[in-house]
């Protein structure tokens, strides 16, 4: 059975564990997920008809995640203080069943660990939002859909799994 991915119906942001006590209600409406790019070197050698950017498997450039808020609160600014505690985003993603055309919901869980890189206190605006944010350097990222891990990147421990394949496994065995 295959699905057409639809929109995110709703999501919650948690600090530490995905429990009712760690839910950060009303702190954000949208989080732009990190963009991962491999470290690469440009090859331009005799006999070649141009340059090739040659990415290194499992070696990723610096990447960040910014968590925007409507305004400053004790709960959201605490995310800047606790670098060792993961952020967990749990979402209900709509999917369309290609066989039946019915809409179904799948759980999507994203776990991020990282170090606070920036705190933007936003602005003071009469009758408006301040739009502050916290930016974290991503050291760990895991994404699951319907209980299946589709991506796991752990820069500190040398893990880079994409859709169930460990792209550095054969490299790790050689060193």
Sequence ranges of the domains in the chain: 3-35+57-174
Residue 25 has pLDDT above 70, yes or no: no
Q: Tell me if 85 sits within 8 A of 16, measured CB to CB.
A: yes
pLDDT per residue over 124-154, tens digit each? Answer: 999 999 999 999 999 999 999 999 999 999 9
CATH class, domain 3-35+57-174, is: mainly beta
pLDDT per residue over 150-168, tens digit each? Answer: 999 999 999 999 998 999 9
Q: Tell me if 70 sits within 8 A of 26, measured CB to CB.
A: yes
Structure tokens, 165: 């394949």
């Amino acid at each position: 059975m295959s699905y057409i991915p639809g929109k995110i119906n709703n999501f919650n942001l948690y600090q530490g564990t995905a429990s009712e006590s760690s839910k950060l209600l009303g702190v954000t409406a949208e989080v732009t997920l990190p963009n991962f790019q491999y470290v690469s070197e440009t090859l331009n050698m005799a006999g070649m008809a141009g340059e090739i950017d040659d990415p290194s498997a499992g070696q990723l450039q610096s990447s960040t995640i910014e968590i925007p808020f409507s305004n400053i609160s004790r709960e959201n600014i605490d995310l800047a203080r606790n670098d060792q505690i993961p952020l967990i985003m749990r979402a209900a993603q709509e999917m369309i069943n290609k066989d039946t055309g019915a809409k179904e919901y799948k759980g999507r869980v994203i776990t991020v660990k990282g170090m606070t890189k920036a705190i933007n206190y936003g602005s003071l605006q009469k009758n408006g939002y301040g739009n502050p944010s916290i930016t974290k350097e991503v050291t760990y990222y895991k994404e699951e859909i319907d209980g299946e891990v589709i991506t796991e990147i752990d820069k500190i421990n040398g893990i880079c799994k994409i859709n169930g394949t460990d792209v550095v496994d054969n490299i790790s065995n050689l060193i």
